Amino acid sequence: MQGINGVRVGMLLLTLGLALGCTSGGAQQQESADERRAMAAEWTQLRQAKGHFAGGEWQQDLDAWQGRKHQLMQGLAAEVLATHSDTSAVLALLGEPDTKVTADQADYADWQRRADWQGSPGPLLWSYHWRGQHDQLLVAFSEGRVSAVGWLYAWE
């Protein structure tokens, strides 16, 4: 009899643990979605500001290596790559790209060769300027989904 009660208690604890785990997983997913939205909103604000490389004054958050804008772009790039986002999800996070390049355009081969890639670049590349055209985040798509992200740095 004690063995049966022990099994029941064990099953109850397991069920309770799973239920709590599922609940916290949902909360974590919501926190993650909220964090992505906050990052995207901050990126949008910083994107509109004019730093040194866009004809303005030097601003640490905009122009510095690992400044806030650079960090946000890295985080958002990692997110769209990890989830293999489609074009609408990328637009929701990063907005319209500064430039779109397809495999039949002149810049495509140069960008594909020069960029530091994570993943395999597809036939469509979207460019988001970090420091003007000086340094850019590239998002590559294959069959409508993110297949790679890469950085096109001036390396000066």
> 46-62: per-residue pLDDT in tens?
999 999 988 899 999 99
What phi and psi values does residue 130 have, to the nearest 5 degrees? -95, -60
**Does residue 135 lie within any of the structural domains?**
yes
Give pLDDT tens digits for 96-131. 999 999 999 999 999 999 999 999 999 999 999 999
**Does residue 94 lie within any of the structural domains?**
yes
Q: How far apart, in whole angstroms, are the C-alpha atoms of residue 54 and residue 71?
A: 18
Is residue 71 within 8 Å of 64, Cβ to Cβ?
Answer: no
**Does residue 109 lie within any of the structural domains?**
yes
**Does residue 5 lie within any of the structural domains?**
no
| Domain region containing 125 | 30-152
